[in-house]
Amino acid sequence: MYIEENYIIENETTDSNKKREYWETGIGLNKVDNLEPSKYLLDLSKKNINGELKYYEIEDLLKTYYETKNISDEKTRNEKECDLVSLRIANILEDKSFGFSPITLKNIHKYLFKDIYDFAGKYRNYNITKKEDILNGDTVKYVNYQEIESYYEYDFKEEKEFDYSKLKNNDELIEHIVKFTSSIWQVHAFGEGNTRTTAVFIEKYLNSMGFNVNNDMFKNKSLYFRNALVRSNYGNIPKGIYPTFDYLIMFFENLLQGKNNRLENKDLYIKELFENNN
């Protein structure tokens, strides 16, 4: 294949530490939906980290493996989702290409969840709610399905035109990134997998701007990340509860600035929603 002299064809990295980081991020992000990988996937990931198997070879092996399994069994079905999505997250994080567009967000979802959900890469055509533990069963108000494209058009246009050079300090920088992340997550464009898709998109976006992302945050604190997004979009005015970016800001300070903020999921529960109203 002919290629211009000044271009380099990218191949999988041989840096085992980076590969381990990508795998741990992929597996960690699946914990937002309480998904755990199979032992088979963990064994295959080690072979990829050691350079014995390529990503595409692992995907083929996983598909063959699950053809012999009873997918009607919930544990098996959950492991299949976790295995394939973890693999694909690792693969896509290693890929340095990126385009800032809602199309990229849609294509990330399509790639992560192909062969898992028949709506992979498709915006939902129905409205949704989701009972949240930290809200004592209440839900965030997600965008009406008829307005998904217009919301994304607005959010991405605003972000694309934003002048980062006008920010005065790191606090303003983190707050801006947090607000953009919270906004695109609140759209919740897909029937499932919104947090994982948002996390991968945001990491690739941050990497494209030159940030050094601490993947330990997504590896170890993915549930905190999701619940911080919930808190940034939830309000109950009669109870004196207002959306707050504070928790998400602490997460991103650790993610991008190496801070050591205390990130405990129990701190995200809104006590007013658990009080006896009698």
Domain with CATH 1.10.3290.10 in the chain: 98-278
Q: Once rounded to an integer, what is the mean pLDDT over residues 2-26?
A: 76
pLDDT at residue 4 tops 60: no
Share of the chain above pLDDT 70, in %: 95
CA distances from 167 to 172, 219, 247 (A): 6, 29, 21
CA–CA separation, 78 and 160 (whole Å): 37
pLDDT at residue 158 tops 60: yes
With cut-offs at 50, 70 and 90, classify the pLDDT of residue 6. low
Tell me which amino acid residue 252 is.
Answer: F
pLDDT at residue 181 tops 70: yes
CA–CA separation, 261 and 231 (whole Å): 17
Token output for 270: 């809104």
Q: Once rounded to an integer, what is the mean pLDDT over residues 42-66?
A: 97
CA–CA separation, 219 and 27 (whole Å): 7
With cut-offs at 50, 70 and 90, classify the pLDDT of residue 72. confident
CA–CA separation, 225 and 251 (whole Å): 7
Instruction: Show the 3-state SS of 84-120.
Output: HHHHHHHHHHHCCCCCCCHHHHHHHHHHHHCCCCCCC
pLDDT computed for residue 246 by the predictor: 98
Instruction: Concatenate the DSSP letters of all residues of 117-180 into one string.
Output: -TTTT---SS------GGGTT----PPPGGGHHHHHHHHHHHHHH--GGG--SHHHHHHHHHHH
The CATH number corresponding to 98-278 among 1.10.3290.10, 3.40.1080.20, 3.40.50.10490, 3.40.1180.10 equals: 1.10.3290.10
pLDDT computed for residue 9 by the predictor: 44
**260 with 230: CB under 8 angstroms?**
no
**217 with 254: CB under 8 angstroms?**
yes
Mean pLDDT of the chain: 94
**177 with 248: CB under 8 angstroms?**
no
* Site of tokens 């509860």: 241
With cut-offs at 50, 70 and 90, classify the pLDDT of residue 12. confident
